[in-house]
Amino acid sequence: MITDVEKALVKECLVFAGEEGASDARITLTKSTEDQIATLDGEIDKVTRCADRTLNIALFADGRFGSFSSNKLERESLKQFIKGAVQTVKMLSPDPFRKLPERERCCASALSGKEMDIYDQAYNGIDASARRMAALEAAVSGKVLPGLPEGVRLVSEEGEYSDSEYDVYVVDSQGLECRHTETSFDYGVEVTIEDASGDKYSDFWWTSSPRLKDFDASACGLTAVRRACAQIGALPAESGKYNMVVAANVSSRLVSPLLNALNAYSLQQGNSFLVGSLGRQVFSNNMTILDEPWRKGETGSKLFDSEGVATKEGPIISGGIVMRYFVNTYMAGKTGFQPTVEEATRPRLCAYPSEELDQEGLMRLCGNGILVTDFNGGNCNPATGDFSYGISGQLFENGKLLRPVSEMLVTGNFLTLWKNLIGAGSDYRRCATKLIGSLAFKDVDFSG
């Protein structure tokens, strides 16, 4: 954790920057520790101890701007580092739009860093043997695997338990001072199985929690094995238009391009398919995405962004209408847009048409279609919204799984896809920072 001595050093660096000729500066000190215990086939395979610290400084001098970082935090090293940084800034071209955010937009409520209640004191009580135990108990190799099809064997299981502590402290020359601390307990596992004919299938699962008491990795291994087994015998389905249900663990893949397109950097460059969309209905009126960064105890909650600007709860898209761009201080100057936070902090896509829908419910709603359980490669053209992704999953009929499919592509345009939203589940994973449940769309092009 960041100490009072380190906080004093950070403030002293602001003074150094001023003495060297900087008109303004923002300094961010980040410290983290992490212990990782990796297993291979149920035995400890790797033990890693990580301890990181970085001091980032955003410098403004003579109407110019530069960004610098160092992990050598001794006082004299930092003085030399800042001297060199100011000299570098003075060699760049002036940019009138570079400035610190207005004081009134900045966070004033993150004083201790623990306001979001995602720092668990239990972290400090975990010792090496507890970590080993957590990793070994989560592993499934050598254990009875209920539901494993006949002739199928587990070839390999790689698991990793980790716990970490993260602490960030931000100050600037206009008096900003805020802090955010969090802990995280994580487990991820990747398995490879082999069927009777020697074909291999791999899959993974993971979980995470900011609190030890809520951390439960016991189902991860078996979930990964079941997901791998579900792919046995997968073949492409016939090419054509299908209803598409996207599982909650991968559905954020279809939301991230929208959020990126709402970022002022993309908009300013003309490299966004949502240019000119603010205040307009461009998606299905069933679609609402809220930003919910202030939920205490929840993964991803945070009171300020990297500029120290206070986060805000509210709609990003409401009934298909774009309500918010993401505009940092620099881009606000360049574009004339009102400044906001720099990106969505903890977006949640609201369930539709009922609050209780999950993946199975959406499949029933669709009747027939393809359930996408994983994406494999692909891309989105940010300027047009055209996309093409490799997928694997399950063909379903009458709301029931029929057979696995793989080596298929789904192609389309994001504006069209989201206009064809027919359902959104409330089954998002609480351990994720984007709270996107299962999704259902009509008339989606699949080829295979």
Partner 1 sequence: MNNNIDLFGLSLPQLRAIVAEGIKGGDWCDLYFEQTVYNDLLLRDGAVASGGFHLDYGCGVRVLSGEKTGYAYSESTDFQSLIDAARAAGAIAGKSGSVKIEAAPTAPPPPYGMQLHWDDADKKQLASWLEKLEAAIRSRDSRPCKVIALLSWSVSNILMYNSLDQLTSDTRPLASVTVTAIFKQGDATEQRNVSRSFRRGREMLDDALIGTLADEAVKDLDDSFAARRPKGGQMSVVMAAGASGILLHEAMGHAFEADFNRKGQSIFCDRMGKRICKEGINIIDDGTVPFNRGALLYDDEGTPSQKTYMVRNGVLTSYLHDRISAAWYGVAPTGNGRRESFRYNPIPRMRCTYMESGADGTLQDLISEVKKGVYVDKFANGEVKIGEGDFTFYVNRGYLIENGRLTMPVKDINIIGNGPRALADIVAVAGDLKIDDGTWTCGKEQSVAVSCGIPSVLINNLTVGGE
105 binds partner 1 (CB under 8 A): no
List binders of partner 1 among 253-292 (CB under 8 A).
269-271
Residue 64, interface with partner 1 (CB under 8 A)?
A: yes
Which of 95, 117, 177, 358 forms a contact with partner 1 (CB under 8 A)?
95
**Contact with partner 1 (CB under 8 A): which of 4, 5, 76, 91?**
91
94 Cβ partners below 8 Å, 6+ apart?
Answer: 62, 63, 64
44 binds partner 1 (CB under 8 A): yes
Smallest gap from Cβ 388 to partner 1, in A, equals 4
> Which window, 65-73, 141-149, 315-323, 430-438, contacts partner 1 (CB under 8 A)?
65-73
Measured distance CA(299)–CA(293) in Å, rounded? 9
Q: Report if residue 443 touches partner 1, rule: CB under 8 A.
A: no
The least distance separating partner 1 from the CB of residue 436, rounded to whole angstroms, comes to 20
Is residue 441 a contact point for partner 1 (CB under 8 A)? Answer: no
Instruction: Report if residue 306 touches partner 1, rule: CB under 8 A.
Output: no
Applying CB under 8 A, the span of 61-69, 207-215, 219-227, 300-308 interacting with partner 1 comes to 61-69
Which 324-353 positions form the footprint of partner 1 (CB under 8 A)?
334
Q: Does residue 199 belong to the site contacting partner 1 (CB under 8 A)?
A: yes
Of the candidates 389, 396, 418, 441, which one interacts with partner 1 according to CB under 8 A? 389
Q: Is residue 252 a contact residue for partner 1 (CB under 8 A)?
A: no
Interface of this chain with partner 1, residues 120 to 179, rule: CB under 8 A: 128, 155-156, 158
Residue 21 as a binder of partner 1 (CB under 8 A): the answer is no
Query: Is 403 a residue that touches partner 1 (CB under 8 A)?
Result: no
Residue located via tokens 């030890």: 212
Binding positions for partner 1, 205-234, rule CB under 8 A: 231
Among residues 50, 133, 196, 235, which is the contact residue for partner 1, using CB under 8 A? 50
60 near partner 1 (CB under 8 A)? no
> Where do contacts with partner 1 occur on this chain (CB under 8 A)?
40, 44-53, 64-72, 81, 84-85, 88-89, 91-95, 98, 128, 155-156, 158, 192, 199-202, 231, 236, 239, 269-271, 334, 376-379, 381-384, 386-390, 392, 406-411, 445, 447-448
